Structure 1
Amino acid sequence: MPTRSARHGPRHRAGGPRSSRRGPLVLAVTLVAALTAAAIALGGSEEGARSGAGTGSAAPATSTDPGSPSGTGAATRAATPAAAALLEWAERELPPGTRLRADEDSREDLLAAGAPDDLVATDEPTGPDDLVLTVTDGSTEPGSRVVARFDGLVLGDPSPGSPSVELLDRRRTLAGAIAANPTTRAPEPAAAVLRSADLDMRLLSLLAVLTARQGLGVAAFPRAEGAEGPARSVLLDSVGGAPVGTGQAATEELGTWLEAQLPPFAPDRVEVTDDGVLLSYRYASDPDALVADASP
């Protein structure tokens, strides 16, 4: 099952990396605690594999123009490990078109590490649907969400989305139903995340459907170092009681089902490992709103 990215099309304000195409997708959250009446349809008929997986990036490692003012500064500055790590992470985890607003020193570090000017531009206008994150040397503004930490650099979201009471209740209902389902297998750290409902609604919706269909083994909810906000990655080690991962027979069936899902529920990345199958979504400021917008 290859690693996949969905990086095309206009983005939602929440920073979703996918097309706004709805397709025959229906999401009806009528799950109760035992998930016996789970009626969430992520649509995406199994013959309709989603299209348009691109190779765009949030932070391609291209060198700056030595003739430009920023290029001149970057050319004489050694790239720091923290800046290089941030750019590598951004390439994988941020939606295309993301802007980084950095203080002067942090910006020069990023340019020296290969950040393109448009990623860290300070004078380019932004619209209401653009995702703009900040990069600082360790401090964050009140109300900002830490997206990830890289040694001395902090990537933050100055305007993170906050779900309404209704959407938060929906998230808690789904998470509680998954945790309470007798087919769910999860070690205590993963079970605690489920009980807290601190999960990206895109991921939570997908897990709810898989749980209702077959049952799941959830090994972990990996997060970036220092990250705040809902978890948006999961490591599955079994589906329907059958182990998944490298060399496991059930892995192909899971991959086929995942390929048939549509945005915003289809994962941005699917990685098969010896420990299981890792599903990940790119960062979104307000994933609850993305799911609500996709529901009729």
Structure 2
Amino acid sequence: MPTRHTRHRPRHRAEGRLGAVLGSRQGHVVVAVALVAVLTAAAVALFLGRDRADRSTADGGEPTREVTTPPTAGTPTAAPPDTDPSAGTDPVAPAPPAAALLDWAERELPVDSRLRAEAGVRDDLLAAGAPDDLLATDRPTGPGDLVLTVTDGEPTARSRVLARFGGLTVADPSPGIPTAEQLDRRRTLAEAVLANPTTRAPEEAAAVLRSADVDMRLLSLLAVLTAREGIGVAAFPRTEGDEGPARSVLLDAVGSAPVGTGEPATAPLRTWLEAQLPPFAPDHVEVTGDGVLLSYRYASDPDALVAEVSP
């Protein structure tokens, strides 16, 4: 049964503001003037944590070597070459839509979110193990509470679709709409990241940056990393059916060093990420063989969250 846990983020002492990060790299990283100006206004609350080089955050040392030992008496051996080893094995069935939706909600939504579902859909979610507090929409809601709709039909025209699972659709009925000024700030940041000669991105990832369709929390973080060392952006993964700004990025390099499983540059990157403060701190950091995957839980109005902590 899915559970919903309150997340606890460690508190870190900050040693300097964003300006200190940018100033420490003068003469080493070429950054567009617009990047410095916009970052100072939009992400001044993004801090660097105390240098914790002695803290072990790496994902491990040398890869574990697989050791093959000869079979002992009574140990089954591999099937002959002309035998299909998968014969008689039942394929793994995909999770039902309601169960897949609950898994997604546990991973992608803030812990205090609630779902308002139609009667039939609500029954399916309860049968799949939905916790009571997730579907308890009869409680009073405040201005900052996130209440999403789940329907087996089409959401309203003003809604923002977050994900689709079979015939079920999760949508935000009242998404935050960025102002013209906020959209311009996004575009300026994205253009500055792309203009930096240290940025490496394949065409598909570069197209996402050019569109500026990136969550402002994530875009601010990428801009600081670009100014600090440079980045390699491999992709902006999305959940199927997601229509909002990208909230995840796969980084495959920081500066000139690759990051990912077994790469030495991974540990310093994770230490730096763990030192960030809300709303810029990623909710999930996963080290993979392809790089480091950063992601944020859904926020209805991320531009407003960044504006609240900016001068």
TM-score, normalised via structure 1 length = 0.78
One-letter identity of the residue aligned with 1:185: R
Gap regions ≥5 residues in structure 1: 9-17, 50-79
Does the 8 Å CA contact 1:42/1:206 hold for their aligned counterparts?
A: no
**1:233 aligned residue:** 248
Distance 2:235 2:291 in 1: 10
Distance 1:22 1:168 in 2: 32
Instruction: Please list the CA deviations of residues 117-175 of structure 1 after superposition, one character each: whole Å capped at 9, or x if unmatched.
Output: 22112422212111000000031101000011111100000000011111111111000
One-letter identity of the residue aligned with 2:120: D
User: Where do 1:43-58 residues align within 5 Å?
Assistant: 43-47=46-50
Greater CA radius of gyration, 1 or 2?
Answer: 2
Deviation at 1:187, TM superposition (A): 0.5
1:286 correspondence with 2:289: no
Distance 1:208 1:243 in 2: 18
**1:7 aligned residue:** 7
Does the 8 Å CA contact 1:22/1:294 hold for their aligned counterparts?
A: no
Does the 8 Å CA contact 1:272/1:278 hold for their aligned counterparts?
A: yes
Deviation at 1:295, TM superposition (A): 1.1
Classify 1:6/1:214 alpha carbon distance in 2 versus 1 (closer, same or farther; 3 Å): farther
Gap regions ≥5 residues in structure 2: 23-30, 53-94
Distance 1:183 1:134 in 2: 42
Where 1:118 maps in the other structure, the secondary structure is helix
Distance 1:159 1:222 in 2: 24
Distance 1:6 1:261 in 2: 19
**1:55 aligned residue:** none
User: Where do 1:113-124 residues align within 5 Å?
Assistant: 113-124=128-139
Percent identity among equivalent residues? 71
Q: Give the superposed CA RMSD.
A: 2.7
Instruction: Please list the CA deviations of residues 14-33 of structure 1 after superposition, one character each: whole Å capped at 9, or x if unmatched.
Output: xxxx89x99788568x9846
Deviates more, 1:240-249 or 1:40-49: 40-49
Deviation at 1:193, TM superposition (A): 0.1
The match for 1:250 among 262, 265, 269 is 265
One-letter identity of the residue aligned with 1:294: V
1:110 correspondence with 2:113: no
Distance 1:187 1:26 in 2: 31
Does the 8 Å CA contact 1:23/1:43 hold for their aligned counterparts?
A: no
**2:143 aligned residue:** 128
Does the 8 Å CA contact 2:152/2:168 hold for their aligned counterparts?
A: yes
